[in-house]
Amino acid sequence: MESLDLKHKKALVVDDFANVRQSITAMLEDLGFVTVHEASDGDSATKLVRESKYDLVLCDFNLGLGRDGMRLLEEWRRLKLMPEDTIFVLITGETSRSVVISAIEFQPDDYLAKPFTLDVLSVRLGRWFERRKVLLPMLVSIDKKDWKAVANTAKSIDESYPRYRSTAQKHYVEALIRQKKMAEAETFLFDVLEKRYQCWAQTALHRIELLQKKLETAEIGLKAVLELDPNELIAYDYLVDSLVQQEKDEEAQTWLEEVISRAPRSIDRQLKLVKVAQTNLNFRRANQAQKDILNLATDTMHESVGLFQNYIKNLKDEALSSDNTRKRDIEKEIVFTAKRMQQSFAADFNAELFTRGVEIQDAKDVPAIKTTQDLDELYNDIINAVDRLIPETALFMAELYYGQERFNDADEMVRAFKSGFSDQPEFIKTLDDLQAEPISLILRSEAKVLNGQGMELYDQEKYPESVRFFEKALKVSPRHPGIVLNFVQAHLHMMEARGKNDQTTAMCLETISRLFYLSEEHYQYPRYKKLLDNVEKL
């Protein structure tokens, strides 16, 4: 340890047991640290990290109530509370596979199993500081998202420091992909694999295939990777993405279940499972994942009123297709979750609006005039406070007003929300989807099947037969752009063969006028505009 000048470095020890903190602190002092601070929980540790810069953090995985060590690491990195030269080491006595895999996935600088000796800590300290010194220029460039610099420094480390070659190569490939230098990245990966098979390199190749929309090829390759190494977690993520893009949602859910069973602490994967399970109309599984998310997010940076809103909303969706026994369980869960939300976010504006909306939605034996007044008041409060809404509240409110058949109000809300959330393209798409199909997921699925059957006949130029399916789909989903335009286009083809029909033309004009809400940015707008012009010319 003589080569390390530890007396000028600062360390932080985070553990909920005082005797453990004292023991680790004594070891660090014996090894040369002069300044060692201690924290017993996430809040006190975060306060210290905000106030002071540490060279080394030794943090226990299990900190009792509140955030654990992994969540602290995630939060400090996300909020940039730790500079790139701080070394974060996760310490734990946990040996279960799921904990170990999850811990590694959060990418601490190292993982130290309890109990450990002074000699072990001494050797590890030397490695940690040497590694950080070598990798620091690359890590700083990553933080700045200077991908050209990342590539250059990673290549230099790869050539000069064999011990860190694998880490450097991974970042080099990432930098090339970020710069959209796919061919260069592929060439490099093939060269790596020619020397020796490495799971990460093979996975990166299939990631590139995924980015290039070679979905089936990526799917086959990623399955082969996971057969060789079932713990290559990122391969599951890419595989699920490829399956979802191919609309193989049931298989995507199966693979999500597998990866979550191996590493259950990823909130992002649980959120993906919620969405995929809903697409599969498996509402009960979606809500179990949503409940797991709430529990994982408690007392962390992820906890939000939006998570509670989504869970309650999804429970209500499940109740629509459940038997009476399950409905009673759902009602109890909704009451319990609503109380949790109110306790955690008592003064939150979005929670208050959401509660009012749910009360309107659930109102029974209430005079129509009272419901109308409540909806009017809520509408005004929403429109006058768009800048205070979170996406979850905005989406629920639009759904509420469509469900109450207040279509003009709902469309006006969506226009206001698109303007207020213009910097969130994914949410804008969600609003577009809702406006096109303000119906339940079950009905959306039914309309999709009918539309697909119509398209098969349309592609065979069996236009009269296709129209019958498009008509059925429109009865289920009367505002969907694709279905509306398919219906009109099939009729135009029929009139080309049979001649113009004033009644059919009027019907087409009425049907296509349902799409008045489409913005010029909507992907179906050019087709809508072209077909509208064609109908108006008849």
The tens digit of pLDDT for each residue in 197-250 reads 999 999 999 999 999 999 999 999 999 999 999 999 999 999 999 999 999 999
Q: Are 275 and 293 in contact (CB under 8 A)?
A: no
- Angle, helices 481-498/463-476, rounded to nearest 10 degrees: 150
Element housing 24 (H / E) = helix 18-30
Alpha carbons 185 and 208: distance in angstroms, whole number = 9
pLDDT at 538: 83
pLDDT at 2: 47
In this structure, what token pair is assigned to residue 317? 């969706």
Specify the fold of 6-142.
Rossmann fold (3.40.50)
DSSP 491: H
Alpha carbons 279 and 445: distance in angstroms, whole number = 8
Element housing 111 (H / E) = strand 110-113
In this structure, what token pair is assigned to residue 366? 């209430």
The whole-chain average pLDDT of the chain stands at 94
φ/ψ of 38, rounded to 5, equals -125, 150
* 147 alpha-carbon distance from chain centroid: 24
Alpha carbons 239 and 328: distance in angstroms, whole number = 37
Q: Are 286 and 314 in contact (CB under 8 A)?
A: yes
Q: Which of 220, 441, 462, 217 minimizes the C-alpha distance to 317?
A: 441
**End-to-end C-alpha distance for the chain, whole angstroms:** 88
Q: How many CB atoms lie within 10 A of CB 532?
A: 17
pLDDT at 3: 62
In this structure, what token pair is assigned to residue 266? 């990823």
Alpha carbons 359 and 414: distance in angstroms, whole number = 21
Q: Are 490 and 535 in contact (CB under 8 A)?
A: no
Q: Which CATH superfamily is domain 441-537 in?
A: Tetratricopeptide repeat domain (1.25.40.10)
Alpha carbons 509 and 294: distance in angstroms, whole number = 48
- Identical topology for domains 144-246 and 441-537: yes
Domain residue limits, the chain: 6-142, 144-246, 441-537
pLDDT at 102: 77
Q: Are 310 and 302 in contact (CB under 8 A)?
A: no
Give how far Cα 477 sits from Cα of 313, 374, 516, Å.
21, 28, 16
Alpha carbons 386 and 339: distance in angstroms, whole number = 25
Q: Are 168 and 136 in contact (CB under 8 A)?
A: no
In this structure, what token pair is assigned to residue 381? 């409060």
**HSE of 297, CA atoms in CB hemisphere, 13 A:** 22
Contacting residues for 86 by C-beta, under 8 A, at least 6 apart: 53, 54, 55, 56, 57
Q: Are 493 and 460 in contact (CB under 8 A)?
A: no
Contacting residues for 332 by C-beta, under 8 A, at least 6 apart: none
130 burial class (0-12, 13-18, 19+ CB within 10 angstroms)? middle
* 187 alpha-carbon distance from chain centroid: 31
What stretches in the chain show pLDDT beneath 70? Answer: 1-3
In this structure, what token pair is assigned to residue 414? 């969506």
Beta strands in 295-389 (DSSP E): none
Give how far Cα 272 sits from Cα of 230, 237, 389, 393, Å.
20, 10, 23, 20
Q: Are 232 and 200 in contact (CB under 8 A)?
A: yes
pLDDT at 1: 43
Alpha carbons 370 and 346: distance in angstroms, whole number = 26
Q: Which residue has the tokens 């004594």?
A: 26
Which CATH class for the 144-246 domain? Answer: mainly alpha
